[in-house]
Structure formats: C-alpha cells, structure tokens
C-alpha cells in the first residue's frame, strides 16, 4: 500500500524523534570505526626507489600500470615552483570551545598595542571540537624576520613560537620508471596501491638528532607521492589509527613490559594523536609526520605481533574530560618524581588534566618551585614509582652531566651574549623543571624560556629539573658546569617509567591513567 501524504507526516515525526534520541544517546563525535589518518612516512629531495613485494598498481594522471613483485621502481621528480609560506609569531593557542577564554586573551593582547592576528587550526570532525585559535603578533614573508620578533619577545620573557603557514605547496614533475624504463611522467601526485605492502628504500629518519640515519621501510596501505610543503617529494600513507598504534606503541615501550603498561601506553597514545589531529602540518596534505615532531612511526617492521595482541582489547578507548573533550594524554620517559604543567612547558593554556602529580605513594612535603626544596629533592629523592632501575627508564630517575671548557664555548656561542658572568632568575614548575632562566653576559642579558630551550642551550640535558655548580675562569666568567638532575623528558602527563612500575605492581590501565590524569574518564570512542 502506498502511504498517503497525510500518513507520511507522523512517520517523519517518528523518524525525527528516533534520530534525536540516537543523537542524545551517542555523542556527536562517536565514530563507526578507527579514524582514517594520513601520515607522511618519508621525504626525498628528488628521487626514491621502491618495490611492492606482492605486486600492486600505480596511477599518475591518466596513466596507470601494474608492478610485479620483482619490479624495481624508481620515482624521480623535478622541482618547478617552490612552496610559498608565511611565518607567524604566535603567543597563545586556545581551544575555540572556550569562547570566553578566547575573548579574554584577545583583549589582553590587543591592549598591548601590538598588531594582533589569529589563525584557526584543528577540526570538528575528529574530536568533539578540536578547533584551536592561535593568537599571533606578527606575520612575515621570511623566517629570519619572524625570528627577530620572536627573539625580541623572548627577551621580554613573552613565550612564543614561529608558526609556518603553508600558502601553497611546491610544484613540479614526477616520473615513474620500472626496471630502468620510464613508463609515465606528469605533475602528480602519483598513487601507489600495493597488495598489501610497499618497501621504500633509504628512508631518512631523525634528521637533526644524534641517531639520524637511513633505513629501508615497509608500509601497508595506499601511498601518494607528490611535491610537498618542504620542496621535496612527500610519501603519504593512508591507513587507520589502530594500524598506526600497533607500530607506535612498540617504539614507546618494550614488549617485555607488564601488559597493563602496554595497554596504558596505547590508550595514552591514541588520545594524544586524536587530540592533535589537524593541529600540525596544516595545508601540507597529511595529518602527521612519522618523526619526533609528531609521532615516531617506522612502518610495518616496527609492528610487534605480541604488542598488537595485548593492545587489541583497548581499541577505541581514550580519556575524556568532564566536558567530553578528548584529553591530550601526553607522556614522557621519566618524570623524576613529579609531573609538570603543560602551560609552563609549552605555549598552551593551562589544561586542568595536565597539572603534574607526585609520582609517589606518599608525597613528601616539598615545594619544587623553591630552590632549597628542589636541591633536597634531587640530592635525596623521596620514594617514587619511577626510580626502580629494573623497570625500563628507571635509570633516568637521577643523572649527572659535566660540561667541559670546550662544551661551555658551545653554550656561549649559542647564547650570543659573550662570556657569561652569571645565570639566575630561575623559575620552576611544580616538577622542579625550569621554564625560565636569565643569562648575564659581557655583551648583554638574555632570558631563555621553556624547558626544551633550556635543555638545548646546555647541550641537550635529559631534563630541565636540575641544580648546577658553575666552574669559573680567572676573570670570574663561567667556564664549565656540573649538573645534577631528575627525570628524562618534558614531564607532562603520564610518566612512562612510573606506569610500567605500577603495572608490574598489579595496577590496571584504568587505575594508572587516573593517577596521571586525575579527574579524567575512560571511554570507548569507537
């Protein structure tokens, strides 16, 4: 029977009521399955070699073809137009779901008389509202000009960062050759559909780090190769988040750790990745890079079957705030005994879930922002979860480092204020990590803001939670240093060493996560 027009209206009402019920029952962000992510897995200046071990297909413009398993494939590119960028000096990043805070900060920066501008990042689709507003005080055509303003602000102890806006990616030609014979050429991008793996030769990793190198890597899933924002050929893998996690977790934790610790690590990494979706590499054509900057991922060879089985039951789980936002569940190797605050370590507004907690059963009565207390904490540590040397990372709980006269010359040249007479103005977060110091040199004074910059200034210290004895030359200038410190890494969020210890003691992932992220709720998001 065909329904009359009149009978359709109640049906429509019923459907609408049902739809409203479903929307109320399931938050808007709930996904059907793991989110699809695009991750840049390799970058080459102009050419690369690859093989599809079980064969597959390629497509470049209107041309396409098959690759058999023994075929040696070379992709070459010729750059024609450089990427166009604009450099912003940003001073704050604020979640757009907090409009009052945004308005308050904008008013504060406008009152300084600076030319304030904003940039919207993030997205609505992958977290409930992952949009973020960056507040900037200067836009420039070159990084050098932006750096000048950045240095000027830092000298006034205004923390800031340089944000590189991609106006357009580079352009050029791409050619594909199979077994030495060119088969197609075009503007790209080139799409590869392996069944299921592609092996890419000599992938560069950890550029700028001491463990920098090249390795052959295998990836599962479609890959596009095109001219990117860094005037190079970007290889971008499309896959799902759970597949990436099976490769990410083994690089963060040993497969010999207690299963509870491995599961905790997977949940934290999932939340961190999702909460940062679309906040980095804006305009570059992918969500994440596979380097330290975003999320270290070295492909299928990093996937541990043992770990994959352990983390499978946690699929889709992450931490939410009371307002149902995804918590940025960050982590670091060893907190040293107390965690730190996100806003002191980075340039983000204070996050009530990242306040830093004592990593101890019985917190001592110490205020680590105080120089006397921090010295006692470093020299005579209280009983902490992350100090057991039989747990991975436990040997990083306390450390020493000496800088020789030659090492100190490097510090001097990085500081740029001539021979350094004194360093003071120590400001510490709740973990004892320094977030500000001031150098007094022969040719000027300089403040260094944020823990990472302080660690880098002194040649790469394990953490910025340290006390130091200066060595001096006959003229009274500093000529070397003996550091004694606590912890490894930024110290915000979960302490990976402490989590492993607690899991070994029988804590499950829910209990461990609520220790490091007090007030958070564990939810199954997909």
**Residues in touch with Zn ion (CB under 5 A):** 289, 293-294, 335, 359, 386, 495, 498
Give least dist CB 166 to Zn ion, A: 13
Task: Between 72 and 293, name the residue whose CB sits nearer to Zn ion.
Answer: 293
Burial 420-444 (b: 16+ CB within 10 A, else e): bbebeebebbbbbbbbbbbbebeee
Using CA atoms, how far apart are residues 321 and 292, in angstroms rounded to an integer? 26
Using CA atoms, how far apart are residues 25 and 186, in angstroms rounded to an integer? 49
Give least dist CB 336 to Zn ion, A: 7
Using CA atoms, how far apart are residues 219 and 41, in angstroms rounded to an integer? 8
Give least dist CB 464 to Zn ion, A: 15
Give least dist CB 114 to Zn ion, A: 29
Task: Between 138 and 336, name the residue whose CB sits nearer to Zn ion.
Answer: 336
Which one-letter DSSP state was computed for residue 282? T
* Residues 27 and 324: beta-carbon distance below 8 Å: yes
Give least dist CB 72 to Zn ion, A: 30
Using CA atoms, how far apart are residues 357 and 444, in angstroms rounded to an integer? 38
Give least dist CB 495 to Zn ion, A: 3
Task: Between 90 and 137, name the residue whose CB sits nearer to Zn ion.
Answer: 90
Task: Between 294 and 319, name the residue whose CB sits nearer to Zn ion.
Answer: 294
Task: Between 192 and 273, name the residue whose CB sits nearer to Zn ion.
Answer: 273
Q: What is the DSSP string of 306-331?
A: HHHHHHGGGTTEEEE-TTSPBP---E
Structure tokens at 147: 């750096």
Task: Between 398 and 450, name the residue whose CB sits nearer to Zn ion.
Answer: 398
Give least dist CB 280 to Zn ion, A: 5
Task: Between 467 and 502, name the residue whose CB sits nearer to Zn ion.
Answer: 502
Task: Between 398 and 455, name the residue whose CB sits nearer to Zn ion.
Answer: 398
* Residues 141 and 69: beta-carbon distance below 8 Å: no
What is residue 240's three-state secondary structure?
strand
Task: Between 335 and 439, name the residue whose CB sits nearer to Zn ion.
Answer: 335
Residues whose CB is less than 8 angstroms from the CB of residue 365 and which lie 6 or more positions away in sequence, other chains included = none
Task: Between 59 and 280, name the residue whose CB sits nearer to Zn ion.
Answer: 280
Long-range CB contact pairs, 381-385, < 8 A, 24+:
381/337, 381/486, 382/337, 384/336, 384/337, 384/358, 384/359, 384/360, 384/498, 385/359, 385/360, 385/361, 385/495, 385/497, 385/498, 385/501, 385/502
Give least dist CB 334 to Zn ion, A: 6
> Could you tell me whether strands 331-332 and 494-495 are parallel, antiparallel, or unpaired per DSSP bridges?
parallel
Give least dist CB 281 to Zn ion, A: 6
Task: Between 166 and 495, name the residue whose CB sits nearer to Zn ion.
Answer: 495
What residues does 177 pair with on adjacent strands? Answer: 74, 182
Give least dist CB 43 to Zn ion, A: 11
Q: SS3 letters for 427-473? A: EECCCCCEEEEEEEECCEEEEEECHHHHHHHCCCCCCCCEEEEEEEC
- Residue 434's φ and ψ, nearest 5 degrees, are -75, 140
Give least dist CB 160 to Zn ion, A: 20
Which one-letter DSSP state was computed for residue 334? B
Using CA atoms, how far apart are residues 410 and 479, in angstroms rounded to an integer? 11
Using CA atoms, how far apart are residues 17 and 10, in angstroms rounded to an integer? 10
Give least dist CB 491 to Zn ion, A: 8
Distances (CA, A) of 67 to 50, 52, 74: 10, 7, 11
Task: Between 288 and 317, name the residue whose CB sits nearer to Zn ion.
Answer: 288
Give least dist CB 498 to Zn ion, A: 4
Packed helices 259-275 and 241-252: angle between N→C axes, nearest 10 degrees: 120
Task: Between 263 and 500, name the residue whose CB sits nearer to Zn ion.
Answer: 500
* Residues 41 and 200: beta-carbon distance below 8 Å: yes
């Amino acid at each position: 029977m065909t329904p009359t027009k009149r009978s359709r209206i109640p049906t429509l009402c019923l459907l609408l009521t049902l739809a409203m019920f479903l929307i109320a029952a399931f938050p808007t962000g709930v996904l059907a399955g793991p989110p699809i992510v695009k991750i840049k897995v390799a970058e080459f200046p102009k050419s690369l070699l690859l093989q599809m071990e079980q064969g597959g297909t390629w497509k470049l413009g209107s041309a396409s073809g098959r690759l058999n398993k023994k075929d040696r494939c070379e992709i070459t590119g010729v750059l024609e137009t450089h990427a166009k960028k604009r450099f912003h000096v940003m001073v704050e990043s604020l979640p757009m779901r907090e409009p009052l805070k945004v308005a308050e900060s904008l008013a504060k920066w406008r009152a300084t008389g600076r030319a304030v501008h904003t940039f919207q990042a993030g997205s609505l689709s992958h977290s409930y509202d992952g949009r973020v507003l960056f507040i900037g005080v200067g836009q420039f055509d070159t990084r050098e000009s932006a750096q000048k303003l950045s240095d000027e602000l830092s000298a006034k102890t205004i923390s800031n960062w340089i944000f590189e806006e991609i106006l357009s990616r580079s352009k050029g030609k791409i050619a594909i050759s199979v077994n030495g014979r060119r088969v197609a050429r075009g503007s790209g991008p080139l799409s590869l559909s392996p069944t299921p793996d592609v092996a890419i030769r000599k992938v560069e990793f950890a550029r700028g780090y001491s463990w920098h190198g090249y390795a052959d890597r295998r990836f599962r899933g479609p890959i596009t190769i095109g001219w990117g924002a860094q005037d190079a050929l970007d290889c971008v893998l499309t896959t799902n988040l759970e597949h990436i996690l099976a490769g990410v977790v083994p690089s963060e934790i040993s497969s010999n750790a207690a299963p509870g610790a491995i599961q905790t690590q997977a949940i934290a990494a999932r939340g961190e990745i999702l909460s940062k979706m679309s906040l980095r590499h804006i305009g570059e054509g992918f969500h994440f890079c596979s380097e330290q900057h975003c999320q270290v991922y070295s492909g299928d060879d990093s996937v541990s079957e043992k770990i994959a089985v352990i983390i499978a039951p946690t699929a889709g789980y992450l931490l939410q705030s009371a307002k149902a936002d995804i918590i940025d569940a960050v982590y670091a190797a060893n907190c040293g005994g107390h965690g730190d605050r996100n806003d002191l370590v980075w340039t983000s507004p204070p996050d009530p879930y990242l306040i830093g907690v004592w990593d101890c059963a019985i917190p001592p009565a110490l205020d680590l922002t105080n120089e006397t207390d921090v010295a006692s904490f470093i020299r005579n540590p209280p009983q902490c979860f992350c100090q057991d040397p039989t747990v991975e990372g436990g040997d990083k709980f306390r450390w020493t480092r000496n800088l020789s006269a030659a090492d100190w010359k490097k510090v001097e040249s990085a500081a740029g204020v001539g021979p350094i007479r004194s360093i003071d103005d120590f400001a510490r977060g709740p973990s004892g990590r320094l977030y500000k110091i001031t150098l007094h040199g022969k040719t000027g004074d300089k403040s260094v803001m944020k823990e990472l910059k302080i660690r880098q200034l002194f040649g790469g210290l394990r953490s910025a939670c340290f006390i130091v004895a200066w060595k001096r030359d006959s003229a009274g200038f500093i000529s070397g240093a003996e550091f004694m410190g606590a912890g490894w890494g930024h110290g915000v969020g979960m302490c990976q060493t402490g989590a492993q210890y607690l899991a070994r003691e029988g804590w499950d992932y829910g209990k461990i996560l609520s220790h490091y992220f007090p007030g958070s709720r564990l939810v199954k998001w997909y």
